[in-house]
Amino acid sequence: MPSDLLPDDLDQPPPPEGPGLFGEEPTPAAPPAATPEAPATPYRVLARKYRPQTFADLIGQEALVRTLRNAFAQNRVAHAFMLTGVRGVGKTTTARIIARALNCVGPDGQRNLSRGPTADPCGVCPECQAILADRHPDVLELDAASNNGVDNIRELREAVRYRPARARFKVYILDEVHMLSTAAFNALLKTLEEPPPQVKFLFATTEIRKVPTTILSRCQRFDLRRVPQEQLRAHFARIAEAEAVPASEEALAMVARAADGSVRDGLSLLDQAIAQAAGSPEGVQANLVRDMLGLADRGLLFDLLEAAFQGDIAAVLAAIDRGHERGADPGVVLADLLDLTHTLTRLRAVPALRQDPSLPEAERVRGVALAEKLSVPVLGRAWQVLLKGIGEVAEAPDRRAAAEMVLIRLAHLAEMPTPGELVKRLTEGGAILPQPGAAPNGGAGGSRAMAGGGVVIAAEPAPAAPPQPRNFREVVALASGRAPMLHAHLLHHTHLVSFAPGRIELRQTENAPRDLAAQLSRLLQEQAGTRWTIALSNAPGEPTIAEQRSHVAGERLEMAKAHPLVQSILLAFPGAQVEALRDDSLDEYGLPPLPEAEDDGPDFAPPDAEPADLDDFDP
């Protein structure tokens, strides 16, 4: 073999010499095939590319980070953690950081078993790299939604019996742990309570209420907070700068607001916005994000609210048409109006908030001016209309028509006074509700009627009860707070036959206890300081106090409904109802006060004295 013949040439036939078989020129050898280019690195979405690697990278979870750092510093790391919070706030990410912190051996590999875990994993040692790549044999991440059976937990229980293959700890990360079945939870209890020393459990869930308390009591629980909008906006600005993508403050604020406290949701939206802005020198701008999210322009929202509060229905419909042309979703428009109404209410209720530097420019100028013109009751009424309207739009076959009807309703209400204003107008003459037997437009007593919004018509303080029992109601009041069961039986199961100082005659129902008389006698002896005689009778007696209260309440409610002032309120607010009646002239049992006992003057002879015969006296 010639020395210059390369091994690769052995697979190629030698080139032909001279003309071919049919006289044509020999075909030159084909050039070697071009080496295929290495495949391009697949794109990683921002949520994965910028996933926190250490505790220092977590945003908005300062309390969690501080607690975990202290636990690692003092070597007081629990055997089980329960991480809960809404989607995208960092539950699984935190679990992975804890797994690396437990098993990191340092960049030089010298952090051995004796030195223990660290709160700052290096991220470059073999253990950290393997956990980051999701290929560490001792760190297992399971999806409880698909591994929720008791057999899966039994396999886990068998696996925890063995020591780690190479790491310091075996770490089991169970995501969405609330999806485990009841039998699976029960199978996990014993292992979770007494795990082997080299095993750690990290649970994550968005539905903490579905996790049994027996599991929660065996874990250290951490509630991950929603990340504030300002922190999200700053975080997204840093990422946009790292990606060399220009982004306006308003656009990033829109993305942060739409993220609703979720870092992952916000990064997904930012990823989408960057893709839409590709090729644009301005980068991510507010109008692009607004179109992407189907949002209404902030100025359009102010136009809508101002027109609605002025009762200008034509301007409301024109603004809705402009939003529809821009692609704004009707449900999102109402949700944004609800959020703006909340902002205006805060500005109206707490004027100091107007100096908040984080307040957007539109709210600072137009928002403050609009809040000064509106009252809290008006804003509260608008909140109720919009809140109810969002549900109507979600269920309506024509969402745009439903949103228009909600806003027309809001504009129509602008011409109507609030319940408080209407009552103030109607009561300028000092009208009050009548008492039983009194004229409709006068009389004392002080009844109160609550129509729709619970408006007080008139009031009068109730008289204070005397300390010694002068009637049966005061006897019953002595039991209140001192003998609750006796008090309930006296109210509902006892009919008064007769009452006199020192003696009470009762008829009790079959639901009353047999020793009711003895209990009442002891109570009176203790509270009144005298001995009372309690006699039981078969006479019908008067209705129970509870029955009397129900009868009086029904009569007074009907009287309140028929009052001209209440009728005026009901006509002004269609659909309103008189739901309750409060009368301060009644006692604590809802009954009119009993009349004071008349004084018959002094007794000149004992009650058992014999009558004198006038014939015995001399003229």
Give the mean model confidence (pLDDT) for residues 431-455: 39
Q: Exposure string (b/e) for 515-541, b if CB count within 10 Å is 16 or more?
A: ebbebbbebbeebbeeebebeeeeeeb
The partner residues of 81 in beta bridges, in order of sequence, read 202, 220
Q: Which residue bears the tokens 């707070």?
A: 481
171 plus 238 within the same structural domain: no
CATH number at residue 59: 3.40.50.300
Classify burial at 123, counting beta carbons within 10 Å of its beta carbon; exposed 0-12, middle 13-18, buried 19 or more: middle
336 plus 236 within the same structural domain: no
> Which pLDDT score, from 0 to 100, does residue 221 have?
93
523 plus 508 within the same structural domain: yes
pLDDT > 70? residue 30: no
Radius of gyration of the chain, Cα coordinates, nearest whole angstrom: 41
Q: What is the mean pLDDT of the chain?
A: 80
> Which pLDDT score, from 0 to 100, does residue 21 have?
40
Q: Which one, of 301, 281, 280, 279, lies nearest residue 290 by Cα?
A: 301
Q: Is residue 606, in this structure, part of any structural domain at all?
A: no
Classify burial at 98, counting beta carbons within 10 Å of its beta carbon; exposed 0-12, middle 13-18, buried 19 or more: buried
pLDDT > 80? residue 418: no
Q: Is residue 586, in this structure, part of any structural domain at all?
A: no
Report the residue count for the chain: 619
Domain boundary among 419, 450, 481: 419
Domain boundary among 524, 542, 560: 542
Are 300 and 322 spatial neighbours (Cβ–Cβ below 8 Å)? Answer: yes
Q: Which residues contact 437 (CB under 8 A, 6 or more apart)?
A: none
The stretches of 55-174 forming alpha helices (DSSP H) are 62-73, 91-103, 126-132, 150-159
More confident residue, 567 or 23: 567
CATH number at residue 303: 1.20.272.10
Per-residue model confidence as pLDDT tens digits over 166-200? 889 999 999 999 999 999 999 888 888 888 889 99
211 plus 350 within the same structural domain: no
Q: Which residues contact 497 (CB under 8 A, 6 or more apart)?
A: 505, 506, 507, 537, 539, 540, 541, 542
Q: Is residue 93, in this structure, part of any structural domain at all?
A: yes
> Which pLDDT score, from 0 to 100, does residue 65 have?
93
Q: Is residue 11, in this structure, part of any structural domain at all?
A: no
Torsion sign across C-alpha atoms 367, 369, 371, 374: negative
> Which pLDDT score, from 0 to 100, does residue 532 have?
87
Q: Is residue 457, in this structure, part of any structural domain at all?
A: no
Q: How far, in Å, CA of 585 to CA of 462, rounded? A: 5
Least confident among 202-206, 426-430, 517-521, 563-567: 426-430
In the DSSP assignment, the letter for residue 26 is P
User: What is the number of domains present in the chain?
Assistant: 4
163 plus 244 within the same structural domain: no
Q: Is residue 136, in this structure, part of any structural domain at all?
A: yes
Q: How far, in Å, CA of 176 to CA of 155, rounded? A: 18
57 plus 200 within the same structural domain: yes
Domain boundary among 239, 269, 293: 293
309 plus 387 within the same structural domain: yes
176 plus 196 within the same structural domain: yes
Least confident among 7-11, 47-51, 188-192, 257-261: 7-11
Q: How far, in Å, CA of 564 to CA of 582, rounded? A: 18
198 plus 272 within the same structural domain: no
The pTM of the full predicted model, rounded to 2 decimals, is 0.57
* SS3 of the chain: helix, strand, coil, percent, to 5: 45, 10, 45
What DSSP line would sit under 547-558, residue for residue? HHHHHHHHHHHH
Provide the pairing of β-strand 578-583 with 199-205: unpaired
Q: Which residues contact 619 (CB under 8 A, 6 or more apart)?
A: none
Q: Is residue 37, in this structure, part of any structural domain at all?
A: no
Provide the pairing of β-strand 494-500 with 503-508: antiparallel
Are 537 and 505 spatial neighbours (Cβ–Cβ below 8 Å)? Answer: yes
In the three-class reduction of DSSP (H, G, I as helix; E, B as strand; rest coil), residue 231 is classed as: helix
Which of 290-304, 385-399, 464-478 is the most confident on average? Answer: 385-399
100 plus 128 within the same structural domain: yes
CATH number at residue 263: 1.10.8.60
503 plus 389 within the same structural domain: no
Which helix (DSSP H) or strand (DSSP E) does residue 174 occupy?
strand 170-175
More confident residue, 599 or 254: 254
Least confident among 2-11, 202-211, 563-572: 2-11
> Which pLDDT score, from 0 to 100, does residue 618 have?
47
Q: Is residue 587, in this structure, part of any structural domain at all?
A: no
> Which pLDDT score, from 0 to 100, does residue 14 have?
52
285 plus 302 within the same structural domain: no
pLDDT > 60? residue 455: no
Confidence of residue 12 (pLDDT cuts 50, 70, 90): very low
Per-residue model confidence as pLDDT tens digits over 65-120? 999 999 998 888 999 999 999 989 999 999 999 999 999 988 876 655 456 788 98
> Which pLDDT score, from 0 to 100, does residue 22 have?
43
- The whole domain housing 275 covers 229-293
CATH number at residue 505: 3.30.300
